[in-house]
Amino acid sequence: MRKTNSCLRGLFIGFNTLFAVIGCLMIFGTIKATAYSDQLSSVSPQGLVWSWVISIGILSISCLGIYAGYSEKIVPLKIFAGFMGVGMIIMIIFGIVMAAYKSQVSSVLENLPSDVVDYLMSNQETSESLKELQHSAYCCGVLGPEDWGTRIPDSCSCIYAGPGLEDLFGTSSCRSTPDGHDGPDEIYARPCREVIVIIVNLVFKIAMIFFFSFSFIALLSLVASLFMIHQVKRSDVGAPIPMKGY
């Protein structure tokens, strides 16, 4: 005889099954990323380690939830509820931290010191990345075209003036190349710092949505597991005590 409500148990098991599938897909993706990590310099070992930890954690906790829901035993349900409670608190903390750092990072980027810009421009990898950003986001330089010195690259050439990347980065406009500088006749008037701020804010917003969404999911899972624990306890208390025959 089942001890918990069939609808609640079905939703509980189905929900954890969905996350178990997500965990398997994440593990599969991590395996692929690990296989190509030697060829892709952008894949860091620390990122792969965290990916393994998160993927295995999601799969393990989901499997625990499936077992707890199917077995209707107090101990697995309590362990699962404990994981959900801790996970909810951690996700809320991370979400609050992301919200706090979002404004701080944006403020730093909007008031970027010139010596930091000089350091970034002197780095070849950074300057090449900036050239790619200029071409796709319709901007020029970090603070302006003067960041490139007397030679402004062709990626600053204003060949398009209008919405940038489907309005994600706002609108762009053209301006004449400053006197004493070589390069295209017309360049983008907007500095790339504005685009970088937009990208950073977008990343922080996505992170906040992720953490707060998972905290809400953890809350729902916690409530569901507590309801099931209550139903199991009530069923155990009301169960008839078997009589021994003498």
In the prediction, which pLDDT does 38 show?
A: 56
Region 221-234 average pLDDT: 89
Asked if CATH classification 3.30.1490 holds for the domain at 110-196, the reply, yes or no, is: no
What is the token pair recorded at 67? Answer: 């077992």
Tens digits of per-residue pLDDT, 170-205?
Answer: 667 888 888 888 888 888 888 888 888 888 888 899
Question: Count of CB atoms within 10 A of residue 133's CB?
Answer: 18
In the prediction, which pLDDT does 189 show?
A: 86
Question: Count of CB atoms within 10 A of residue 186's CB?
Answer: 16
Given a cut of 80, whether residue 227 has pLDDT beyond it is yes
Q: Hey, is 163 helix, strand or coil?
A: strand
% of the chain surpassing 70 pLDDT: 86
Phi/psi at 222 (nearest 5 deg)? -65, -45
Lowest mean pLDDT among 7-16, 42-51, 112-121, 168-177: 42-51
Length of the chain: 246
Given a cut of 70, whether residue 161 has pLDDT beyond it is no
What is the token pair recorded at 127? Answer: 């300057």
In the prediction, which pLDDT does 43 show?
A: 52
Given a cut of 50, whether residue 84 has pLDDT beyond it is yes
Tens digits of per-residue pLDDT, 137-152?
Answer: 888 888 888 888 888 8
The residue extents of the domains of the chain are 6-93+214-238, 110-196
Question: Over the chain, what is the mean pLDDT?
Answer: 83
Secondary structure E strands in the chain:
174-176, 186-188
Confidence (pTM): 0.72
